[in-house]
């Protein structure tokens, strides 16, 4: 199966799950046009539809958003823009004094045959006022999953994969792929 992403961190996390499932993963390190939409589902779907025009083999890609309910779900589908503009420090400032709970949502879009099938995964937690850790990427240094004391950036890939949004979405796609192989 082919993963299309320009993000090395996403590839490392996902390849770890494929090794465990015994399925070969090929990485197409490609930056594609990410069309701005109102939902993570639609960004993922439209990106998949764009890549599908060039790549004839079956493949998948994913889009992830960080949702903060006390900010009415912001940044959500605008997570990429927020990360490159105000960064996690800016997000910490927006959340300061408000309810800090947040969640990541990953939507995998699998292009298979003549269909696009989506799989979702959510990780609930909170935005910490203290950044910590040097691992991971994006908002990992300020995101503390529910039931944990560490930020995602303080965890290694195997620990993050135990419960992450991305691992949940990919696990459900792997379940589908394995079931369709039987
Ligand atoms: P993307 O559009 O799926 O690449 O992600 C939107 C934004 O969320 C980007 O700025 C990423 O850095 C960030 N992001 C995506 N996944 C994660 C994650 O697992 N941890 C922390 N930040 C993430």
- In angstroms, the Cα distances linking 5 to 9, 63, 69, 134, 168 are 10, 10, 28, 22, 18
**Cα 182 to averaged position of ligand 1 atoms, centre (Å):** 33
Task: Tell me which of 58, 63, 146, 156 is the catalytic residue.
Answer: 63
Using CA atoms, how far apart are residues 86 and 106, in angstroms rounded to an integer?
Answer: 21
Ligand 1: which of 64, 137, 141 to mutate, most ligand atoms within 8 Å of CB? Answer: 64
Q: How many domains does the chain have?
A: 1
Task: Give the pLDDT score at 33.
Answer: 83
Task: Give the pLDDT score at 75.
Answer: 98
- Vertex 133, ends 129 and 134: CA angle to 5°? 130
**In the chain, how long is the greatest CA-to-CA distance?**
52
Digit-coded pLDDT (tens) for 69-94: 999 999 999 999 999 999 999 999 99
- In angstroms, the Cα distances linking 114 to 13, 60, 179 are 27, 13, 18
Whether 64 lines ligand 1, by a CB cut-off of 6 Å, is yes
CATH number for the domain including 33? 3.90.950.10
Residue nearest to atom 10 of ligand 1 (CA): 80
- In angstroms, the Cα distances linking 176 to 38, 47, 143, 154 are 27, 21, 29, 31
Residues 6 or more apart in contact with residue 84 via CB below 8 angstroms: none
Whether 83 lines ligand 1, by a CB cut-off of 6 Å, is yes
pTM assigned to the model: 0.97
Q: If DSSP codes are grouped into helix, strand and coil, which group holds residue 59?
A: strand
Is residue 63 annotated as part of the catalytic site, yes or no? yes
Per-residue confidence at 153, pLDDT binned at 50, 70, 90?
very high
Domain residue limits at 121:
2-181
Whether 166 lines ligand 1, by a CB cut-off of 6 Å, is yes
Whether 106 lines ligand 1, by a CB cut-off of 6 Å, is no
- Vertex 24, ends 42 and 11: CA angle to 5°? 50
Query: Beta strands of the chain (E only): which ranges?
Result: 2-4, 26-28, 59-67, 75-76, 101-112, 115-127, 143-145
Digit-coded pLDDT (tens) for 115-149: 999 999 999 999 999 999 999 999 999 999 999 99
């Amino acid at each position: 199966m082919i993963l299309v992403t320009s993000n090395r961190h996403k590839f490392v996390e996902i390849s770890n799950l494929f090794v465990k499932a015994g399925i070969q993963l090929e990485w197409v390190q490609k930056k594609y046009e990410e069309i701005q939409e109102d939902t993570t589902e639609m960004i993922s779907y439209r990106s998949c539809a764009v890549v599908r025009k060039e790549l004839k083999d079956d493949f998948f890609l994913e889009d992830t958003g960080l949702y903060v309910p006390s900010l009415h779900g912001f940044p959500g589908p605008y997570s990429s823009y927020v990360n490159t503009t105000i960064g996690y420090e800016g997000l910490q400032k927006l959340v300061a004094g408000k309810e800090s709970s947040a969640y990541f949502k990953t939507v995998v879009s699998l292009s298979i045959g003549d269909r696009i099938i989506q799989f979702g995964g959510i990780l609930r937690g909170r935005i910490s006022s203290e950044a910590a850790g040097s691992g991971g990427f994006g908002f990992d240094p300020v995101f503390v999953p529910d039931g944990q004391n560490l930020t995602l950036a303080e965890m290694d890939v195997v620990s993050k994969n135990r419960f992450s949004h991305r691992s949940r979405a990919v696990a459900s796609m792997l379940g589908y792929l394995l079931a369709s192989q039987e």
